[in-house]
Amino acid sequence: MLLAAYLQRAKAVVITFTDTHMALRILHAVRQVSETLPVIVRTLDDVDMQTLRQAGADEVVADVMEGSLMLASQALMVLGVPLNRVLRRIRTVREHRYNLFRGFFRGVSDNGDGLDEAQQLRLWSIQVCSGAASIGRTLGELKLEDLGVEVKAVRRHRSKQGGSGRRFYR
């Protein structure tokens, strides 16, 4: 099947089976065709990382690790940590974990575009309380963009007494 998919002309192979035995079989077949073709393998956790690397995988990406990184980054953003600091931390973890990320070229955006942390984008959760001037008005009427505010989501909670809405701004 790999030959029918033109494996010999591929520039890289990504194996996404979470079954290590099947991934090893595919990896072995790829290595019979090419010893130098980059192969990235997905796995559920770290248990079989070394086995997959020894079998010829250039990189092994564990779902648990990536899921944890995303969960941590979301939590940090909700807590108001500047986006660039969150991205920098994730980049550092990935550089130490994945060989392919080591030594990559850093661009201007990796340094925060010249902005200090006080100027970096942040995610804030704002609860609109009864009596607020924004109640009954559309987002367009509030002209939040003039204040440098970008609305990412609106969550409404209506109680029997009328309740209040919860709005998320950045």
> Residue 130: how many CB atoms within 10 A of its CB?
9
Both 108 and 142 in a single domain? no
CA atoms within 13 A on the CB side of 162: 6
Q: Dihedrals φ, ψ of 152, to 5°?
A: -95, -30
Both 38 and 63 in a single domain? yes
Both 89 and 155 in a single domain? no
pLDDT of residue 142 exceeding 50, the answer is yes
The DSSP code sequence of 47-99 is TTHHHHHHTT-SEEEEHHHHHHHHHHHHHHHHTT--HHHHHHHHHHHHHHH-G
Both 34 and 17 in a single domain? yes
* Number of domains comprising the chain: 2
pLDDT of residue 17 exceeding 70, the answer is yes
Predicted pLDDT of residue 124: 65
Structural domain that includes position 41: 1-116
Both 104 and 135 in a single domain? no
The residue among 52 and 89 whose pLDDT is bigger is: 52
Both 145 and 70 in a single domain? no
Both 109 and 145 in a single domain? no
Cα dihedral sign for 71, 73, 77, 80? positive
DSSP bridge pairs for 40: 14, 59
Ranges 77-81, 100-104, 105-109, 165-169, most confident? 77-81
Both 109 and 33 in a single domain? yes
